[in-house]
Amino acid sequence: MSYFDAASGAPLHPVARQALLASLDEGWADPSRLYREGRRARMLLDAAREAAAEALGCRPDELTFTSSGTRAVHSGIAGATGGRRRVGRHLIVSAVEHSSVLHSAELFEVTEVPVDRTGAVSVQSYVDALRPDTALACLQSANHEVGTVQPVAEVAAACRAAGVPLLVDAAQSLGWGPVEGEWSLLTGSAHKWGGPSGVGLLAVRKGVRFSPQGPADERESGRAPGFENLPAIVAAAASLRAVRAEAAQEAPRLRELTERIRARVPRLVPDVDVVGDPERRLPGIVTFSCLYVDGETLLHELDRAGFSVSSGSSCTSSTLTPSHVLKAMGVLSEGNVRVSLPPGTPAEEVDRFLEVLPEAVAAVREKLGAPTPSAVVREDALVVDALGKRCPIPVIELAKVIGDVPVGGTVRVLSDDEAARLDIPAWCEMREQEYVGEEPADRGSAYVVRRIS
């Protein structure tokens, strides 16, 4: 089985395993105690903090270990806004932030900064969003679904000039290098770089107003209550140092493999949209969407072929709404596949994936009755009733009949699936047809498409 979902959770690094097993014997005592076992545990905790702080580019006393990356984000936003409660309760976030940031932001007045079709924000959009009552700005270092790297240093400089702290969610990028720029707060998650799950990092620069929320606790400067999971912390710090040492050699190799996927998938599979920035992106992530494909079914086909990948598609059993990242980018969501290669992935496995993918996509399209070319002209306007049918059926039905209207004719697609609002315009752009717009209907909405070629 080839595991191609490292962006969700990387396999445990061998160094992390070794450090975890060793610290289970040495680091079980309370590091706050003064007896021998406690002092030994304190030495391990201090060494882990120094190693992790060096990797983040901060001071050891600026770094807190939390129970997860999500907990780090929640604590960081709560503490930063608590420290600036007299300024106001306005937050700035990008539209493609991780759900942990977006859920925390729901408690405040929020300005959501849009992204372009590559998933990147503009620095000017953050500048324009700044207000006198802005308590905090948030921006991920790189996107978890499409790999696009954000202009963190430039946004941090703009925020600093306005006196507003910037929190950076660096979960996806920390394994590849430190985050540049004068950020104020930074979070990370160990299982993203090959450390054990259950360890998060929260760095708060000296001088940043920060007021921990909730009951006070004497551990971790009051920012992360509860007994430290010392063996996991030691393993997280050790693996971060290890993957950083390997990054200089591994990053170019994985970048070449993902570039191979980006270049070959459109040639091997028709009607595919490769998304994300082609240049400013993480080394191991490549994402593409396939027209006329049910994302969940495609993932099952690939799983049977021996490949573990993930999807931001709306066509999954857990949700009937498109990925908020793909939606914000305005790109196709149906049949979405994210390939995220863990360090050490052999090139042969990537080549085998490229051999398997076309057959898997073709099999799914055949099951769903994907369209075949048609040159029959019948009417100047057609109505497709796709009410009650979920992604990707509305788009498949549209594609089947677009050739049945003359150039200049229109097709109205009736649909009550939220994904259609995103996928029909994306289909029009891919197939060089005109998306006229959305109209109200008795049920759902009517999406009007004009044939121009």
Catalytic residues: 315
C-alpha span between 236 and 246 (Å, rounded)? 15
Name residue 110's beta-bridge partners: 91
3-state secondary structure 66-111: ECCHHHHHHHHHHHHHHHCCCCCCEEEEECCCCHHHHHHHCCCEEE
Phi-psi region of 125 (alpha: psi -120 to 50; beta: other; left: phi over 0): alpha
Q: How many CA atoms lie within 13 A of 321 on its CB side?
A: 4
Contact 27, 44 (CB under 8 A): yes
374-410 burial, b at 16+ Cβ within 10 Å, e below that, comes to eeeeeeeebebebbebbbbbbbbbbbbbbbbbeeebb
What phi, psi does 286 have (nearest 5°)? Answer: -140, 135
**Please, is 330 exposed, middle or buried when counting C-beta atoms within 10 Å of its C-beta (0-12, 13-18, 19+)?**
middle
Which residue's entry shows tokens 């400067």?
Answer: 221
The DSSP call for residue 452 is: -
C-alpha span between 237 and 16 (Å, rounded)? 8
C-alpha span between 374 and 402 (Å, rounded)? 8
Contact 77, 58 (CB under 8 A): no
Closest to 171 in 3D by CA, of 64, 72, 249: 72
| Residue 135 amino acid letter | A
